[in-house]
């Protein structure tokens, strides 16, 4: 069987119990080391933040967790209902902050602002609220970006990509689904098509132009297994698809890195001043 025909589910299968155990220990230890005992995160009603919520509930006492739902007026009511079902199922405190007044006030003078600008602004508004709650609650912000999004750059820099610790950033979207099933994430969240929910009927797969099944299979061979372009194409992947995904991964590298600093000294932050993140905790 060609590599491109191998079922993604089997290819990317992980041990959900082991992964969950590790992510739970990771959260507990990294948060405690940073001097925090509370966590806060955005709960959208999607599968990624639902998984983060279930992990947080395993890692911390319920009263140390705050989930924040931040709908905009065009957000699907089902999203909010799904988010609420997660918080209620877990018995964790939650808060709803409607971002409509902030977003609409900002764009009041600019009716022609593009969907991209509006979407980015919403993502950054939500980030800003989470970091305010972080300060208010003395809680660390948990990230909910998965490996597929991070590699494809399918997220807003300093928006939904911002966080202090991210338990799921090394799981592809299809692996997040495996973990979600194991954690008991409610059925409607598992079954619905993933969406940033920035406008009506938006879905990730429509916007990206390919399915998570397909792109995760390709990314797995391209990134994890270091297959060359030629080997991928020989293995049955469409050349245009390989090139488009490789390009996305490449051009979005900046979103995964801190800003570039002009090197002037003999010891430059990030270049030859290199300490572990955990140095400071």
Q: Is residue 225 a contact residue for another protein (CB under 8 A)?
A: no
In angstroms, give the least distance from the CB of 25 to another protein: 6
Residue 270, C-beta contacts closer than 8 angstroms, at least 6 positions apart: 258, 261
Q: Is residue 117 a contact residue for another protein (CB under 8 A)?
A: no
Closer residue to another protein, CB minimum distance, 112 or 276: 276
Using the structure block, give the residue that is written with the tokens 């050349």.
239
In angstroms, give the least distance from the CB of 92 to another protein: 23
Q: Cα separation of 98 and 80, whole Å?
A: 11
Q: Cα separation of 74 and 102, whole Å?
A: 14
Whats the size of the chain, residue-wise? 281
Q: Is residue 275 a contact residue for another protein (CB under 8 A)?
A: yes
Q: Is residue 262 a contact residue for another protein (CB under 8 A)?
A: no
Selection from 57, 18, 63 nearest residue 185 by Cα: 57
In angstroms, give the least distance from the CB of 19 to another protein: 5
Closer residue to another protein, CB minimum distance, 17 or 236: 17
In angstroms, give the least distance from the CB of 273 to another protein: 7
In angstroms, give the least distance from the CB of 276 to another protein: 5
Residue count, binding to another protein (CB under 8 A): 21
Q: Is residue 263 a contact residue for another protein (CB under 8 A)?
A: no
List of E strands, the chain: 38-42, 65-69, 94-96, 139-141
Closer residue to another protein, CB minimum distance, 167 or 194: 167
**Helix H segments across 138-235?**
147-152, 173-183, 187-191, 204-208, 212-219, 229-234
Q: Is residue 273 a contact residue for another protein (CB under 8 A)?
A: yes
- Contacts to another protein from residues 163-202, by CB under 8 A: 165
Q: Is residue 278 a contact residue for another protein (CB under 8 A)?
A: yes
- Contacts to another protein from residues 2-41, by CB under 8 A: 13-15, 17-19, 21-22, 25-26, 29-30, 33
In angstroms, give the least distance from the CB of 277 to another protein: 5
- Cα separation values, 143 from 6, 7, 197, 242, Å: 31, 29, 18, 28
In angstroms, give the least distance from the CB of 65 to another protein: 20
Closer residue to another protein, CB minimum distance, 81 or 271: 271
Q: How far is CA 140 from the centre of its chain?
A: 16
Q: Name which position in 77, 109, 209, 276 contacts another protein (CB under 8 A).
A: 276
- Cα separation values, 26 from 17, 47, 52, 168, 263, Å: 14, 20, 12, 10, 34
Q: Is residue 73 a contact residue for another protein (CB under 8 A)?
A: no
Asked whether the beta carbons of 60 and 195 are under 8 A apart, the reply is no
Asked whether the beta carbons of 53 and 43 are under 8 A apart, the reply is yes
Q: Is residue 279 a contact residue for another protein (CB under 8 A)?
A: yes
Q: Cα separation of 37 and 64, whole Å?
A: 7
Closer residue to another protein, CB minimum distance, 15 or 253: 15
Q: Which residues bind another protein (CB under 8 A)?
A: 13-15, 17-19, 21-22, 25-26, 29-30, 33, 165, 273-279
């Amino acid at each position: 069987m060609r590599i491109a025909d191998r079922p993604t589910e089997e290819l990317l299968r992980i041990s959900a119990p082991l992964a969950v155990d590790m992510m739970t220990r990771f959260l507990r230890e990294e948060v405690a080391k940073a001097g925090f005992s509370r966590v806060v995160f955005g709960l959208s009603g999607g599968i990624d933040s639902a998984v983060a919520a279930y992990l947080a509930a395993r890692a911390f006492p319920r009263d140390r967790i705050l989930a924040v739902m931040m709908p905009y007026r065009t957000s699907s009511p089902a999203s909010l209902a799904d988010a609420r079902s997660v918080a209620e199922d877990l018995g964790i405190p939650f808060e709803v902050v409607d971002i409509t007044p902030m977003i609409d006030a900002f764009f009041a003078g600019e009716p022609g602002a593009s969907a991209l600008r509006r979407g980015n602004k919403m993502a950054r508004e939500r980030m800003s609220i989470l970091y305010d709650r972080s300060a208010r609650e003395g809680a660390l912000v948990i990230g909910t970006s998965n490996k597929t999004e991070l590699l494809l750059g399918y997220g807003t820099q300093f928006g939904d990509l911002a966080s202090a610790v991210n338990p799921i950033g090394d799981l592809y979207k299809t692996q997040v689904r495996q973990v979600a099933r194991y954690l008991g994430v409610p059925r409607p969240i598992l079954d619905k098509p993933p969406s940033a929910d920035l406008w009506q009927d938006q879905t990730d797969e429509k916007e990206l132009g390919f399915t998570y099944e397909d792109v995760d299979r390709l990314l797995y061979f391209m990134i994890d297994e270091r297959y060359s372009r030629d080997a991928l194409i020989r293995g049955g992947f469409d050349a245009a698809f390989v090139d488009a995904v490789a390009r996305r991964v490449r051009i979005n590298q900046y979103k995964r890195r801190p800003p570039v600093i002009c090197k002037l000294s003999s010891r430059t932050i990030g270049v030859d001043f290199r300490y572990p993140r955990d140095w400071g905790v």
